[in-house]
Structure 1
Amino acid sequence: MLLAGCVSTKSAYTREQVARKLQARGGFELGPVRAANAPAPPLPNLQDGLSEEETVGLALTRNPAFQADLSTLALAQADLQDAGLLANPVLSGITSYGSAPFSLALNFASDLLWQRPGRVGAAQLETQRVAENLVSRGLLVGRDAQVSYTDVTLADERLRIAREAIAMRAEVARIVRSRYRVGEASELETVAPSADSLRAVDDYYRARRDARVARLRLLTPLGLDSMNVDSVRFVVTPAAAAAVPPLPALLDSAYAARPDLWAARTGIEAIGKRLKWERSRVFSFVLSLNARLNDPNPVHLGPGAAIGLPIFNRNQGRISRVKAELEQASWQYLALRQTVGLDVREAYVQYEQATQSVALWERSYLPSLQDALRRSTKAFINGDFPYVQVAETTRQLLDARQRAADARADQRRALARLRYSVGGARF
């Protein structure tokens, strides 16, 4: 019984342990602990641009929602500390009255001693579950930051393509007007190029709006919404070819390493501990030490005990509830395992398709369309080619550049989702 009262309430699952797991799984830095009213962490040097790695670091250290999630670990540790506390002994006294002597009684609920290991064990596992969930949450924050960063770089690429479209269509319109002035083209032929130029300007305005919205969506969770979003430059590093393992290996890695799956399994184990603890509460046992003070005689001490007989209340309600929670947690684990498998398969298919699209557009379509536009523009200047063919080739080239940019962004998004879906693998 004394050994049961000495069960440790110190948890190995601390913020430092969460930080080490985030670093090992995703290469992410959690940053130091700070209060809500403390100054925000310093920003990196924005003069040379904001990289994707710096964006992830800012998301993990400046995102208020994630900082609030980290507070749940302190709550779990407080619950663990509370689970290890024993009830204070109760001292009661009865004053002398008539022939009744003055008496004292010291009562101690000793049943908490053998209940304590089960209660502390359940709280320890709950702390572990919370820590694993925080690792999963940190990986998710990093993934979302990477996806948002890709959205910003894609929006900037679309804006650049829109600028090129204005220049290309303006040049064609200038050539048509020049031919009209020398009598080689009719006035009607100048209408379509001018309309195309105006549409290119409108496309540019839309692309600029989309770029600003994408920047706001990225910078607001980082606490940078007060900055001029157009002043922040984002550094795009060329995507290195990732050595993605085959799908069966990815599934095995996800089932073994996903922290949310670990958290679900730990939660089931914690509920099992709670079930044992609830069953141990059927009996209650109170030890007492009584003392009587008689005038002619010294103090008389006598031990005593009170045992609660489980005749009517055998804690059936709490035991049944924990059993139901155990059944629910088991089904939730199976559902989560299915979701994990779907996440891996979906991200893998998306990455394969995006990789094929990148190769298709960059190696085949773009070079051929660039050559076709160069030759058709030259023929149009010489008067050997109608404008409609130049306009169609220009449209196809701009569309190909847009699709190539979309494919590169899809590839980066899918890779970020694939890494998260397998538990933060660094491939």
Structure 2
Amino acid sequence: MFLRSRRPGALASFLLLTAGRPAFAEVEAEASPASVAARIASCLEADPRLLAGKEEIHQAEAEEVTASLVPNPELQVASGLVPFPWSPFDDADHPGGPPQLEAIVSMPLDWLVFGKRAAARESAGIGVDVAKAGFDDLRRQRLLAALEAHYDLAEAAGVRELADEAHREAERLYSITAARVGAGGAEAVELDRVRVSIAERRRELALARAAETGARARYEAIVGRGCEEPGSLEGPAPEPVSEHAALELAEKSRPDLVGLRLHVDQSGAELRKERADAFPELSVEAGYTRQFQRKAMGAPDAHSWGVGLTVGLPIFDRNQGGLAKARSVRRQAEHELEASRREARAEVTEAVRNYEASFEIATTHDEEALRAATRAKERIEEAYALGGRSLLEVLDAQESWREARRNHLSSRAELWRSLSRLQAAVGVQVLP
């Protein structure tokens, strides 16, 4: 039941106070978290850090091309048994030679016979998959950073809007109080109290604008300008996922774990490559020789050819160091995989628990507190406009309402941030 006005202009003062106040239920529908993440991910395609990380894939592919190439043959051209200019060959007094020209082509065969090229190609091929997994993990981390910056900006924008609304309400309260003082329903000191409130609201608005500018700068530093603008923090959030399901998703989907498993496979391939490299170098040769016998021996020049086989003798160097290092690298990769699994399990567990808490706070406690603070504020303002409440009660109700709004904004932003962290922890953007 409305209170009956006890002085002229009270109802008009109430209408002035409540004019332009947005209803709590009137919130802008927010797009789903998956669609927001998809639009931000499309902006990240031009992220310099991601573009730099993508070059790692191109470099690994180049190494695979190098490992698949067949070794080049070698050509050796030599001239031998040539006399010094001041000491020519002579049939009677200074026989020698005959001078000859040799051209020898050698072709390595150890890459084929001992499987060195195949082992190198296997290792390089897995290296491409490792690079792709590393790029996926970089993209996961950059997307998480962009989403957190996105919701930081949304929270900062909401706080700025709240500060702007609080400033307008303080000015409306000043007009009402001035009207009451003029009508003799309030003392003049109340105007000074409202002026203090207006100054505080201006200070909060200036700080909120600066915070929003800083949050926007951090967001645009990641995604660039012209990307997804933050909207309302309201909207339904997915139900919390069980810890067991989240751990299973992380084990299968997290690109860093996938990359480490591939790194273990690559270290095994590297060990096989080092074993192949322990075999000696092997090459086959074929050559042509022309002997210049006419001046040296008085006989016609002669043409001949020959073949040969060159093989190293692995007496001292049998690639002992390379094999020992490859075994150590494999053990290291296995230990790193197990350590990352433990860290990932802890990260997933923490993310699941944080999201459960954020979900409960944002969807239950803070919404109830905001509704209660909004009802209390409206009723006290209505009663104040009609002369039934004091200014201190109005200011206290407004402060409680602002605190409830700030808590609500913070909890909603933390809800989406914790969801983004959970999605990043399990390695998927859509939770079951």
Range into which the TM-score falls when normalised by the shorter chain: 0.7 to 0.9
Which of 299, 317, 323 aligns to 1:313? It is 317
How far does the alpha carbon of each residue in 1:390-418 deviate from its partner, in whole angstroms, 9 at most, with x for none?
21211111111111111111111111221
Q: Which residue of 1 aligns with 2:258?
A: 262
**Does the residue aligned with 1:288 lie in a helix, a strand or coil?**
strand
Q: Which residue of 1 aligns with 2:40?
A: 55
Which of 383, 392, 397 aligns to 1:379? It is 383
Counterpart CA distance in 1 for 2:176 and 2:327 is 81
Counterpart CA distance in 2 for 1:105 and 1:242 is 74
Going from structure 1 to structure 2, the CA distance change for 1:329 and 1:358 (only over 3 Å counts) comes to: same
Superposition pairs of residues 294-309 of structure 1, within 5 angstroms:
294=291, 299-309=303-313
Q: Which residue of 1 aligns with 2:398?
A: 394
Superposition pairs of residues 97-116 of structure 1, within 5 angstroms:
97=81, 98-99=97-98, 101-113=100-112, 114-116=115-117
Counterpart CA distance in 1 for 2:334 and 2:167 is 59
**Does the residue aligned with 1:106 lie in a helix, a strand or coil?**
strand
RMSD: 2.6
Counterpart CA distance in 2 for 1:376 and 1:244 is 38
Counterpart CA distance in 2 for 1:107 and 1:389 is 99
Superposition pairs of residues 14-413 of structure 1, within 5 angstroms:
53-59=38-44, 61-97=45-81, 98-99=97-98, 101-113=100-112, 114-224=115-225, 234-236=230-232, 238-282=234-278, 283-294=280-291, 299-361=303-365, 363-413=367-417
**Amino acid across the alignment from 1:106:** V
Q: Which has the larger radius of gyration?
A: 2
The alignment-based identity, stated in percent, is 22
**Amino acid across the alignment from 1:126:** G
The Cα shift of 1:304 comes to 2.0
How far does the alpha carbon of each residue in 1:319-347 deviate from its partner, in whole angstroms, 9 at most, with x for none?
23323322322222122212221221122
**Amino acid across the alignment from 1:54:** R
Going from structure 1 to structure 2, the CA distance change for 1:138 and 1:347 (only over 3 Å counts) comes to: same
Counterpart CA distance in 2 for 1:166 and 1:268 is 61
Going from structure 1 to structure 2, the CA distance change for 1:368 and 1:244 (only over 3 Å counts) comes to: closer
Is 2:34–2:429's contact at 8 Å kept on the other side of the alignment? Answer: no
The Cα shift of 1:285 comes to 1.8
Q: Which has the higher contact order (CA 8 A, sep 6+)?
A: 2
Counterpart CA distance in 1 for 2:162 and 2:80 is 97
How far does the alpha carbon of each residue in 1:142-177 deviate from its partner, in whole angstroms, 9 at most, with x for none?
333222221222111111111121122223333333
Is 2:234–2:412's contact at 8 Å kept on the other side of the alignment? Answer: no
Going from structure 1 to structure 2, the CA distance change for 1:76 and 1:123 (only over 3 Å counts) comes to: same
Is 2:233–2:409's contact at 8 Å kept on the other side of the alignment? Answer: no
How far does the alpha carbon of each residue in 1:98-150 deviate from its partner, in whole angstroms, 9 at most, with x for none?
13644332222211222111111000000010011222222333333222221
**Amino acid across the alignment from 2:60:** A
The Cα shift of 1:220 comes to 3.1
**Amino acid across the alignment from 1:262:** V
The Cα shift of 1:290 comes to 3.7
**Does the residue aligned with 1:133 lie in a helix, a strand or coil?**
helix
Is 1:125–1:266's contact at 8 Å kept on the other side of the alignment? Answer: yes
Is 2:154–2:233's contact at 8 Å kept on the other side of the alignment? Answer: no
Going from structure 1 to structure 2, the CA distance change for 1:238 and 1:403 (only over 3 Å counts) comes to: closer
**Does the residue aligned with 1:108 lie in a helix, a strand or coil?**
strand
**Amino acid across the alignment from 2:61:** Q
Number of residue equivalences? 374
**Amino acid across the alignment from 2:126:** L
**Amino acid across the alignment from 1:124:** G
- Unmatched 5+ residue regions in structure 1? 1-25, 29-50
The Cα shift of 1:96 comes to 4.8
The Cα shift of 1:300 comes to 4.1
Going from structure 1 to structure 2, the CA distance change for 1:249 and 1:52 (only over 3 Å counts) comes to: closer
**Amino acid across the alignment from 1:264:** L
The Cα shift of 1:369 comes to 1.4
The Cα shift of 1:233 comes to 5.4
Counterpart CA distance in 1 for 2:215 and 2:409 is 16
Is 1:52–1:149's contact at 8 Å kept on the other side of the alignment? Answer: no
**Amino acid across the alignment from 1:56:** A
**Does the residue aligned with 2:282 lie in a helix, a strand or coil?**
strand
**Does the residue aligned with 1:186 lie in a helix, a strand or coil?**
coil
Is 2:77–2:103's contact at 8 Å kept on the other side of the alignment? Answer: yes
Mean CA deviation greater in 167-176 or 205-214: 167-176
**Amino acid across the alignment from 1:163:** D
How far does the alpha carbon of each residue in 1:301-360 deviate from its partner, in whole angstroms, 9 at most, with x for none?
433222222222222232233233223222221222122212211221221111111123
TM-score (norm 2): 0.79
How far does the alpha carbon of each residue in 1:49-89 deviate from its partner, in whole angstroms, 9 at most, with x for none?
xx664333112x22111111111111111111111123211
Is 2:163–2:205's contact at 8 Å kept on the other side of the alignment? Answer: yes
Counterpart CA distance in 1 for 2:126 and 2:62 is 13
Counterpart CA distance in 1 for 2:290 and 2:144 is 73
**Does the residue aligned with 2:105 lie in a helix, a strand or coil?**
strand
**Amino acid across the alignment from 1:209:** A
